[in-house]
Amino acid sequence: MSVMIEKSGPFGHAPSSVSKTMSTVLLALLPATLFNVWLFGWPALFMFVITVGACIIFEAGCLAWQDRPVKSTLFDGSATLTGWLLAMSLPPWTPWWIGVLGAFLAIVLAKHIYGGLGQNVFNPAMVGRVGLLVSFPVQMTAFVPPHPLFSQGAPGFLDSLGLVFGGLKNMDSISAASALGHVKTELTKGIPVSESLPQVFDLTNMLTGMHIGSFGETSAILILLGGLFLMFRGIISWHTPVGLMGALFVCAQLSHMAAPERFASGTFHLLAGATFLGAFFIATDYVTSPISKKGQLVYGMGCGFLIWIIRNFAGYPEGVAFAVLLMNALTPVIDHHIRPRTFGRNSKGEPLPVKGDGK
């Protein structure tokens, strides 16, 4: 009797898996998503379904093309999550091809070209968004004011299909700027922030989400709820969100105190744009962020600082996607330099000196 044993222990495993992790994140995104489907109506729902569906189809195609197991890998939920986050970062009313093209950029270009799940350097959803933004700035900045489902003036089911597939012909008449965009445009016209800001900044609406923005980013409270749920379930830790929001708030608030005419306040920067979505759901992407907690704190702070720089000094009103991609590029460097201290060794890796009573 001699049975060769192919694997050492442990002979037991935590009830964890990639698909469980992914579905927990999806669950956390659900409240904000449902709210925003209600807020922006049928066209937003179609855009969401198209984007997520396209991601799943591209994922399946890439897997089949590479002779990888399609069925088991497809349902790990990673492509769904990428599509979901990409949809949340797009303008709520957008032609169908924007979602499909974004899905192509995210899944094929940003994920599978690099080797698939776990191998990509850049956050796929943000590559999708940034690729679209720089290629189609008009469509990507055509925001609409809230049109709650079944409310007066909200497009019906068929109208919405026409909007999404037939083109948004009268978009100019209904589109409006996001808060960040408004402040930026006014500033270029020479109108100080202190004047333009009160026109768009309503604290209650910013918190609940009743304002103009990308499909999934408007409700700070519901996104925070999802983020806290992820922390409670141990999927993410506080390091990245706190680093990001802390750095952004400190930079914004200090500059605001120094020059209130030129810079918006810390509170505004926290609640406007994709700050909450970015802090809890995008910058925390496992694959493209550092693996150590300390590294995540540094990475989050880097993101926050870059968001502030881009929003205030660059051409674009919003900077979350750019900031995250830039910090993605630094992740390997952060991981190389910031690592936990090994038991029995100092931070340089040398054995600790012998203390205690032994000689």
Partner 1 sequence: MKLFPIRGGIHPDYRKERTAEKAIVAFPVPAKLYIPLQQHIGAPAEPVVQAGDLVKKGQLLAKGQGAVSAPNHAPTSGRIEAVMEVTAPHPSGLPQLTIVLESDGKDEWANDLPAPIADPFAATPDELRARVAWAGIVGLGGAAFPTPVKLNLGSQLKIHTLLLNGAECEPYLTCDDRVMREYASDVLDGARIMAHTLGAAKIVVAIEDNKPEAQRIMAEAAKPFPNIAVTGVPVQYPMGSERHLTQAITGLETPARKLTADLGVVVHNVMTARAVHKAVREGKPLLSRVVTVSGGAVSEPKNIEVLIGTKLSELISFCGGLAKEAKRFVNGGPMMGQPLPGLDVPVVKGMSGILALTASEVNEQPANPCIRCGTCVTICPCGLVPVEMAAVIRKDHLDQAAHLGVMDCVSCGSCSYICPSHIPLVHYFNYAKGMLNAQDREKRRLERVKTLAEARNARLEKAAAAKKAAAAAAAKKAAEAAASQSTAENRPGA
Residue 299 Cβ vs partner 1, minimum distance, rounded to whole Å: 11
Paired with 176 in beta bridges are 143
CA distances in angstroms from 90 to 66, 111, 117, 169, 311, listed in the order given: 29, 19, 23, 18, 18
Residue 266 Cβ vs partner 1, minimum distance, rounded to whole Å: 29
Buried b (16+ CB within 10 A) or exposed e, 263-283: bbbbebbbbbbbbbbbbbbbb
Residue 332 Cβ vs partner 1, minimum distance, rounded to whole Å: 11
Structure token pair of residue 138: 């008009």
Which is closer to partner 1, CB of 286 or CB of 316? 286
- Cβ atoms of 142 and 93 within 8 Å: the answer is yes
Of the candidate residues 190, 198, 315, 356, the single one contacting partner 1 (CB under 8 A): 356
**Contact status: 5 vs partner 1 (CB under 8 A):** yes
**Contact status: 353 vs partner 1 (CB under 8 A):** yes
Of the candidate residues 43, 266, 290, 300, the single one contacting partner 1 (CB under 8 A): 290
Residue 199 Cβ vs partner 1, minimum distance, rounded to whole Å: 43
Which is closer to partner 1, CB of 186 or CB of 285? 285
Which is closer to partner 1, CB of 262 or CB of 293? 293
Residue 94 Cβ vs partner 1, minimum distance, rounded to whole Å: 29
The residue type at 211 = H
The residue type at 116 = G
> Phi/psi at 142 (nearest 5 deg)?
-85, 85
**Contact status: 113 vs partner 1 (CB under 8 A):** no
**Contact status: 16 vs partner 1 (CB under 8 A):** yes
- Cβ atoms of 288 and 228 within 8 Å: the answer is no
Residue 286 Cβ vs partner 1, minimum distance, rounded to whole Å: 5
Of the candidate residues 97, 104, 136, 286, the single one contacting partner 1 (CB under 8 A): 286
**Contact status: 13 vs partner 1 (CB under 8 A):** yes
Three-state SS at 142: coil
Which is closer to partner 1, CB of 2 or CB of 170? 2
Residues near 335 by beta carbon (within 8 Å), at least 6 away in sequence? 290, 291, 292, 295
Residue 38's CB is within 10 A of a number of other CB atoms, namely 16
Residues near 338 by beta carbon (within 8 Å), at least 6 away in sequence? 290, 292, 294, 295, 298
What does the per-residue mask of binding to partner 1 show for 242-281, with x meaning CB under 8 A?
Answer: ----------------------------------------
Of the candidate residues 4, 138, 158, 258, the single one contacting partner 1 (CB under 8 A): 4
Q: What is the DSSP track for 283-337?
A: TT-TTTS-SSHHHHHHHHHHHHHHHHHHHHHSSSS--HHHHHHHHHHHHHHHHHH
> Phi/psi at 143 (nearest 5 deg)?
-90, 155
**Contact status: 354 vs partner 1 (CB under 8 A):** yes
Residues near 228 by beta carbon (within 8 Å), at least 6 away in sequence? none
Residue 161 Cβ vs partner 1, minimum distance, rounded to whole Å: 36
**Contact status: 338 vs partner 1 (CB under 8 A):** no
**Contact status: 337 vs partner 1 (CB under 8 A):** no
**Contact status: 66 vs partner 1 (CB under 8 A):** no
Which is closer to partner 1, CB of 43 or CB of 243? 243
Of the candidate residues 21, 82, 123, 253, the single one contacting partner 1 (CB under 8 A): 21
**Contact status: 71 vs partner 1 (CB under 8 A):** no
Q: Does the CA dihedral 342-347-350-354 come out positive or negative?
A: negative
Which residues bind to partner 1, rule: CB under 8 A? 1-5, 7-18, 20-21, 73, 76, 78, 116-119, 237, 286-287, 289-293, 296, 335, 339-345, 349, 351-359
